[in-house]
Structure 1
Amino acid sequence: MNKTISYTMISLLLVSSLAACGSNNESANTNTNAATNTANADTSNNAAATNDAATNDAAATNDGGDTKALSGKVVFLTNRTDMVDKEYNDYEKRFEAKYPGVDLQFEAITDYEKNEKIRIASGTYPDVVLLGGLIPNSDYPKYFAPLDDIKFSGDIYFKDFKSFEGKSYGISSGNSTVGIVYNKKAFEKAGVTAVPKTYDEFLAACQKLKDAGIVPLASNFKDKWPLGAWSGDVPTIIGAAADHQNKRKDTDTPFTMDNVYGKSWSIIRELKEKGFLEKDVNSTNWEQSKKDVAQGNFAMYLLGNWVINQVIDAGAPASDVGFFPFPADNSGQAKAPLNPDWFYGVNKDGNVEAAKAFVQWMIEESGYDEFAGFIPTLKDKQPKLAQLAEFNTYNPTYFEAVAGDDVATQILNKAQIDQDAVLQEFVLSKNPQAVLDKVNEEWAKAKKQIVK
């Protein structure tokens, strides 16, 4: 069942001081340049070996016991290529100071879910990985250790999101909502004097921005992964429900022009046709777009609050960066999703107890949530991102993400449907209905094999 959260409730979660303007950077999504601080490929294949190096009494650490009991190597497979040789160096020093017997290493990769899935299938994944939505919850016990025995200092969000048969296999690395991140100076230059509250007002604002020589919306179309909001979050806003992806298992035609996917994809198609996206959507560049938004050459992103700090890091004064709910219709009612980001998972054959200690440290002591501009996973920890307070002044109704349905996930995997790639094709095609017909055919064929 979808869970809606009123502004009154969510404001308790997201309230933050305007004085605490974030100045950190980066997203929780894959960036463009692969990097690693591991010495060689063997560090990503040593998960089983590291388990032998851990002491048998290391579990005491998760109950606040002796931090010196842990030993051995822990490798974290991350998508944050931007943090290698920078923030991760600091994390390594601080974690190893607390756990002197542990050798913490980071391996950063791009195209994360695709490459991670290959490595999990081949058994070459390290101690700590990030879990997205491509692995059914029922498969987690095959690869990952239960994390219920980690004693956090308080309650956490999305505790049961990655659970199976009463055991939790994933801890959210942070949480976010999705809306329009915008450069206030660009709005001012274009004569946009008020934040748009309806779709028609949004189009009018885009036209003013375009007329002023400013690219209205940075889509990062070529990079593909930033398009995920159009398949996950905008459909939630349009349908006022977060369970739309699970409901697809009940139909042979989940992608139609008149449902939440067709409506969402038609919006970005319209924005492209009106010239409201980058001039050449096939040559976009994620890293450059951050600078362009920071400088006011581009006015807006449709992304999560995690991108705000990276725009600031790219040179924008924090006071020039704003955040408002995306008006996907003309109702005038502000709506927004509340989502977990990637989840930490621990290889069941790796250095399990030391890996659990690392997960707990990342949540409670690393400061990663503030760095990334997240809503913290600990419920009693308030976010420090000022723009979240601004977002809440529009009184949005939040729709909390629901755990993925295994059958729907299995159908999607069987059909090998890349939703972001389908969206790209839909936007560029002269016959978008034919794109939907093709993907529905693939879905129906896979569904027939999965649902007996």
Structure 2
Amino acid sequence: MRRGVLTGLALATAAVLASACGGSGGSAAPATASGDPAKVSGNITVLTNRTDLVNDGTMKKYADDFAKAYPNVRVTFEGITDYEGEVKIRMNSENYGDVLLIPNAIAKGDYPKFFAPLGSAAELSKKYKFTQAGTVNDQVYGIVSFTPAQGFVYNKELWDSAGVTEWPKTPEEFLSALKAVKDKTGATPLYTNYKDGWPLSTWTNALGSVTCDVKAEKAMITEDPWAPGKDLNVIDSLLFDAVNRKLTEKDPTTTNWEESKNAIATGKIGAMWLGSWAVPQMQAAATKAGKSPETIGFMPFPAQANGKFCTVLAPDYQYAVNTHSQNKAAARAWVDWFVDKSGFSALNQGVSSLKSDPLPSAIKPLGEAGVQLIEMETDQRVQVDAIDKESEVGIKAPEYRQRLIDVARGAAKGDLNSVLAELSGKWKAGQESAG
């Protein structure tokens, strides 16, 4: 199972939740855990996208460890395969667990309608990184589960066999590397995971990597994100060109996320755009296939600014407490324990939200190679969300890149310029409509 999507900007599909946003409301009571664990009690349901960890017993082990600290709290997990789709529907009611991962479809400005406040930004930022991602009006409503670096997971042995031993520095170098992989190994150079959809959404997480600009997201409020030289122009052009030059799977409508793990581990796929969270999953697949986990590598987006690569640290899902929960203290205790004590961020090779934790092993090679790890400024995300909603682009939804791929492979009319022009036009209309 994937790690959860989409870090970064909230989806324009928040429109789906319009009815819920209008009449939800809940209690504004904060989720505060007692200083004495023995006094915290209750049964809580935790919603998670990690069905794999529920099924293999990993989450139960976490619950057992948690119970040693909080013996009077009983934790039940609900693993949801289509997490985004199902949870956003459930949020039209009050029944969406006690603890949940904030769906990307929820606009940041709507957090207070659905989630209990966890504390002030000033206080929580002393202990945690990335708190601005969940902050609305100086109150924090979500704590980031972990923060992966964004890049290409790739099969190093395959790329070595193709004669590519250094990370490409430009999109054209990357495309040339993909062609070498195809010509010399016969493998699928780049896998889009078109059918599952959500991996295409993660390409937006490269925003900022191209220009090494932490303000790239904020610039979308007033500028054209697909203008020549802008990050999304470069990102989407690379994907389009890879498909157009037949450097991706033959039939994108038949891709399979779970099968892709084994395929990249065994050298049938060259690379996939994902986050560092995917590295341990691919390494596990390599080990299962009798390969060394070192077969799996991780590289930055093929662009440099001032002679250096930049990789965005894009926060993954945020843990939140349902504002309607009858056991907020127990729910908050779970959130605190899971972020602070469980080691879940290290398992997923992401940067921990806890300031005292070290960098994970998958990201260390980037630092050693001089790659700059940057965090986007997101204090104006509410405005970006509003523009995205009005534009109907869906910058974190898969549909627009699925259409991009359809045009690139000849399944839909148009060319790269027409697709980018259409996106620019919609975004401009969204800017005007959102004011």
Length-normalised TM-score, structure 2: 0.82
Between 1:127-136 and 1:324-333, the stretch displaced more is 324-333
Identity within the alignment, %: 31
Aligned mates of 1:60, 1:372 — CA distance in 2: 26
Residue 132 of structure 1: how far off its partner (Å): 4.8
Contact kept, 8 Å, 2:33 with 2:40, in 1: the verdict is no
Amino acid at match of 1:310: Q
- With CA pairs under 8 Å and 6+ residues apart, which has the higher RCO, 1 or 2? 1
Report whether the alignment pairs 1:85 with 2:52.
no
Aligned mates of 1:95, 1:279 — CA distance in 2: 47
1:123 corresponds to which residue?
94
Residue 389 of structure 1: how far off its partner (Å): 1.9
Report whether the alignment pairs 1:333 with 2:308.
yes
Task: Report the 3-state secondary structure (helix = DSSP H, G, I; strand = E; otherwise coil) of the residue aligned with 1:207.
Answer: helix
Q: Deviations over 1:263-304 (max 9, x none)?
A: 211111111122221122221110111001111111222221
Q: Deviations over 1:187-235 (max 9, x none)?
A: 23223233333334322321221012122222212222111232231x3
Q: Deviations over 1:417-452 (max 9, x none)?
A: 33321112123224144444544554455544432x
2:402 corresponds to which residue?
424
Aligned mates of 2:384, 2:390 — CA distance in 1: 10
Residue 374 of structure 1: how far off its partner (Å): 1.4
Task: Report the 3-state secondary structure (helix = DSSP H, G, I; strand = E; otherwise coil) of the residue aligned with 2:363.
Answer: helix
Aligned mates of 1:153, 1:411 — CA distance in 2: 28
Q: Deviations over 1:138-175 (max 9, x none)?
A: 32222211112899897211123211222111101001
1:383 corresponds to which residue?
359
1:369 corresponds to which residue?
345
- Equivalent of 2:296 in 321, 326, 330: 321
Task: Report the 3-state secondary structure (helix = DSSP H, G, I; strand = E; otherwise coil) of the residue aligned with 1:314.
Answer: helix
1:264 corresponds to which residue?
235
Residue 356 of structure 1: how far off its partner (Å): 0.7
Report whether the alignment pairs 1:357 with 2:327.
no
- Equivalent of 2:195 in 202, 219, 222: 222
Mapping of 1:34-433 within 5 angstroms? 59=32, 61=34, 65-86=35-56, 87-148=58-119, 155-211=127-183, 212-233=185-206, 235-250=207-222, 254-256=225-227, 259-316=230-287, 317-328=292-303, 332-350=307-325, 351-385=327-361, 387-403=362-378, 404-419=380-395, 420-429=398-407, 430-431=413-414, 432-433=416-417
Aligned mates of 1:435, 1:199 — CA distance in 2: 19
Aligned mates of 1:171, 1:153 — CA distance in 2: 10
**Alpha carbons of structure 1 residues 283 and 66: separation in structure 2 relative to 1, 3 Å:** same
Contact kept, 8 Å, 1:126 with 1:347, in 2: the verdict is yes
**Alpha carbons of structure 1 residues 305 and 169: separation in structure 2 relative to 1, 3 Å:** same
Contact kept, 8 Å, 1:215 with 1:297, in 2: the verdict is yes
Task: Report the 3-state secondary structure (helix = DSSP H, G, I; strand = E; otherwise coil) of the residue aligned with 2:221.
Answer: helix
Q: Deviations over 1:285-329 (max 9, x none)?
A: 101110011111112222211100000111242222222222136
**Alpha carbons of structure 1 residues 71 and 200: separation in structure 2 relative to 1, 3 Å:** same
Contact kept, 8 Å, 1:325 with 1:394, in 2: the verdict is no
Q: Deviations over 1:36-94 (max 9, x none)?
A: xxxxxxxxxxxx9xx9xxxx9x9563xxx321212222111111121123211212222
**Alpha carbons of structure 1 residues 446 and 205: separation in structure 2 relative to 1, 3 Å:** closer
**Alpha carbons of structure 1 residues 435 and 274: separation in structure 2 relative to 1, 3 Å:** closer
2:434 corresponds to which residue?
450
1:37 corresponds to which residue?
none
Contact kept, 8 Å, 1:27 with 1:310, in 2: the verdict is no
* Cα RMSD for the two superposed structures: 2.9
Aligned mates of 1:248, 1:205 — CA distance in 2: 31
Between 1:255-264 and 1:66-75, the stretch displaced more is 255-264
Task: Report the 3-state secondary structure (helix = DSSP H, G, I; strand = E; otherwise coil) of the residue aligned with 1:216.
Answer: strand
2:410 corresponds to which residue?
none
Residue 258 of structure 1: how far off its partner (Å): 5.5
Amino acid at match of 1:139: D
Task: Report the 3-state secondary structure (helix = DSSP H, G, I; strand = E; otherwise coil) of the residue aligned with 1:229.
Answer: helix
**Alpha carbons of structure 1 residues 371 and 330: separation in structure 2 relative to 1, 3 Å:** closer
Length-normalised TM-score, structure 1: 0.79
Aligned mates of 1:371, 1:379 — CA distance in 2: 17
Residue 373 of structure 1: how far off its partner (Å): 1.6
**Alpha carbons of structure 1 residues 185 and 149: separation in structure 2 relative to 1, 3 Å:** same
Q: Deviations over 1:96-131 (max 9, x none)?
A: 333222221111223433433332233332211112
Aligned mates of 2:195, 2:303 — CA distance in 1: 23
Contact kept, 8 Å, 1:257 with 1:433, in 2: the verdict is no
**Alpha carbons of structure 1 residues 326 and 138: separation in structure 2 relative to 1, 3 Å:** closer
